[in-house]
Amino acid sequence: MPEILEQHRRFLPHYQETQQIFSLTWRVDGELPQQILLSIREIQAAMAELHAKAPGRVCPDFIKKYRQCIERYDEQLGRHPATGINLCHSDIAPVLTHAFHFYDSNLYELHAYCVMPNHVHLLLKPHADDPENGVLLSDIVRRIKGYTAKQIQKQGYSGNKIWRADYFDRYIRSDKDYAYTVAYILYNPVKASLVKEYSEWDYSYFWKE
């Protein structure tokens, strides 16, 4: 039976059990328009309701609603122009993709990612056999954010706060959910009209067995 490894709240509630694959999203620091802020509050309310429910008592309709909230926010964010720091700049994106792969097998099993101009998506499975070496999602996010922020600041962005505090997380509930999430991550640049085909995007990845 899965064990609870982490349950806490900062700006958002977070919950982690062992042997789960997670979809993670976080964005660059900076102000957002009111419409996107409303979407964030909608997600916060849905997440709080989700984590308040007992295991096995979450109906599929609510999961669908919860996922739609996150996707609505993500699509709005994808259309919002990057201000200050563009993560897809040629001297920044390689820093991020290198870090994602560097921590693969060290902290987690990396399944997919996509770097967008103002946010990132990761799909990964934290290692569960050694809790002292980064199994917690909060530790994974902290280490990636900390390392990449320092490297980006070395590129001439010193003095800027790189990442917005906190992150969104959602665990994968089935094979169907997994396939859907991978496709959603890879097609993010297409939905944002950055490319016509997902294969044209240089800053995404999917691990195939």
One digit per residue, the tens of pLDDT, for the chain of length 209 reads 455 445 444 444 444 455 789 999 998 887 665 666 676 677 677 766 666 655 555 566 666 777 777 777 777 676 666 567 889 999 999 999 999 999 998 889 999 999 999 899 999 999 876 555 446 888 899 999 999 999 999 988 877 789 988 788 888 888 998 998 999 999 999 988 899 999 999 999 998 76
Question: Which pLDDT tens digit goes with each residue over 118-145?
Answer: 899 999 999 876 555 446 888 899 999 9
Coil, strand or helix at 136: coil
Element containing residue 209 per DSSP (H, E): none
Three-state SS annotation for the chain: CCCEEEEEECCCEEEEECCCCEEEEEEECCCCCHHHHHHHHHHHHHHHHHHHCCCCCCCHHHHHHHHHHHHHHHHHHHHCCCCCCCCCCCCCHHHHHHHHHHCECCCEEEEEEEECCCEEEEEEEECCCCHHHCCCHHHHHHHHHHHHHHHHHHHHHCCCCCECCCCEEEECCCHHHHHHHHHHHHCHHHHCCCCCCHHHCCCEEECCC
Closest CA to 6 of 123, 144, 171: 171
